[in-house]
Structure 1
Amino acid sequence: MQNYRIRTATVADLDGARAVMLDAVYRDFGTGYVPAWHADIIDPGAFYLTPPRHTLLVAVDEENGAVAATAALDARGPAHPPNPRPLAERFPSGETAQLRRVCVRPEHRRRGLARRLVAELLDFARADGGYRSVYLHTHPDSPGAMGLWRTLGKAVWDDRDDAPGGNGVVHFEIPLA
């Protein structure tokens, strides 16, 4: 049985975290790296380690020290465009803790890592005291994602219903309390 340590990422973890995230956008999302959507993956330190209300967590495989999973949180709500205006209004920047980059390498899945990482992010958001809601969007084809998010929150917008013009993601709200 593998053991994992979940902790706040350090600069030394960024290459491993970036590799996990890039692997997910190529393998799970099928989009590959898109600069407009994935700039935070290339420079996670600037997006998640430097800003005071943001964080990046990693799950480290204690056997070999490799980053097995990531999860991040920032204070940016969904922007309009590309997201629907009602979402941007419901989840304004500064008041919204947005969960991002919850990615688990395939060989480490089905061990509760994503759920543990999200629990730590929710604790971080609560401790901040300035967030009033938690938001995320997910690609429905990402393995395990829809099942996880449905157990933790509720879908508030499904872009698959917005054809043409939807970007194919599902938007969720997770209770902060």
Structure 2
Amino acid sequence: MVKKLFNHGKNPRYHHDIINMKEVYIDEKRNTIIGAFDKNNNLIGTIAVKQFIDRFDAIKGRYKESTTAELGRCYINEDLRRQGIGSQLFDNIIQFCKEGGYDKIYLHTHRHLPGGFDFWQKKGFLIIAEENSGEEETVHMEISI
């Protein structure tokens, strides 16, 4: 999905969590990645959450790391979008975050990604900052849970 959406392979600067999935999502109790599978056991969607790390200049100092989760890696097979798979994954992540002691979820997205920005707005995420420099047009969003 990274190659398809961003036209490049995994980059250690941006994809540490993908490259080190076990270390980031399995070994860390407050982090998780969830997959959705079809009846033939094919992976058709993912969503992940990890403890927020204050690494973005546009929102520096905004969040308490211990109570803020960062949502990411939400991808749904393009042939299966708008069928509720993303919503089911998101509902599971919300439950995981509540049980893990998080009270806020942060995410960043890009307007060029198909369906992402609109999906997050429909789920109640609010824009807290936008960065329009460069190619990515990053939108920072949050929701209280």
> TM-score, normalising length from structure 2?
0.90
The Cα offsets for residues 132-152 of structure 1, whole Å up to 9 and x where unpaired, read as 311000121111101101112
Matched, 1:74 2:50: yes
SS at match of 2:141: strand
Q: How far did 1:154 drift?
A: 0.7
Q: Is the CA contact (8 Å cut-off) linking 2:110 and 2:136 kept in structure 1?
A: no
Unpaired stretches in structure 1, ≥5 consecutive residues: 1-22
Unpaired stretches in structure 2, ≥5 consecutive residues: none
The Cα offsets for residues 32-67 of structure 1, whole Å up to 9 and x where unpaired, read as 3221001211221111011011111000111x1011
Letter in 2 for 1:137: H
SS at match of 2:65: coil
User: Cα gap change, 1:119/1:141 in structure 2, threshold over 3 Å: closer, same or farther?
Assistant: same
Q: Is the CA contact (8 Å cut-off) linking 2:36 and 2:46 kept in structure 1?
A: yes
Matched, 1:141 2:118: no
Letter in 2 for 1:50: D
Q: Is the CA contact (8 Å cut-off) linking 2:127 and 2:140 kept in structure 1?
A: yes
User: Cα gap change, 1:31/1:172 in structure 2, threshold over 3 Å: closer, same or farther?
Assistant: farther
Distance 2:23 2:46 in 1: 16
Structure having the higher strand fraction is 2
User: Cα gap change, 1:166/1:78 in structure 2, threshold over 3 Å: closer, same or farther?
Assistant: farther
Structure having the higher helix fraction is 1
Structure 1 runs of 4+ with >4 Å offset: none
> TM-score, normalising length from structure 1?
0.75
Distance 1:76 1:132 in 2: 12
SS at match of 1:36: coil
Pick from 14, 27, 32 the counterpart of residue 50 of structure 1.
27
Q: How far did 1:28 drift?
A: 1.9
Equivalent position of 1:150 in the other structure = 121
Equivalent position of 1:122 in the other structure = 94
Q: How far did 1:76 drift?
A: 2.3
Matched, 1:41 2:18: yes
The Cα offsets for residues 67-105 of structure 1, whole Å up to 9 and x where unpaired, read as 1100011112341xxx225x1311232221110101112
Equivalent position of 1:29 in the other structure = 6
Aligned residues: 144
Distance 1:172 1:135 in 2: 6
Q: Is the CA contact (8 Å cut-off) linking 2:32 and 2:48 kept in structure 1?
A: yes
Q: Is the CA contact (8 Å cut-off) linking 2:52 and 2:106 kept in structure 1?
A: no
Q: Is the CA contact (8 Å cut-off) linking 1:159 and 1:166 kept in structure 2?
A: no
For the aligned residues, what is the CA RMSD?
Answer: 1.7
Percent identical among aligned pairs is 28
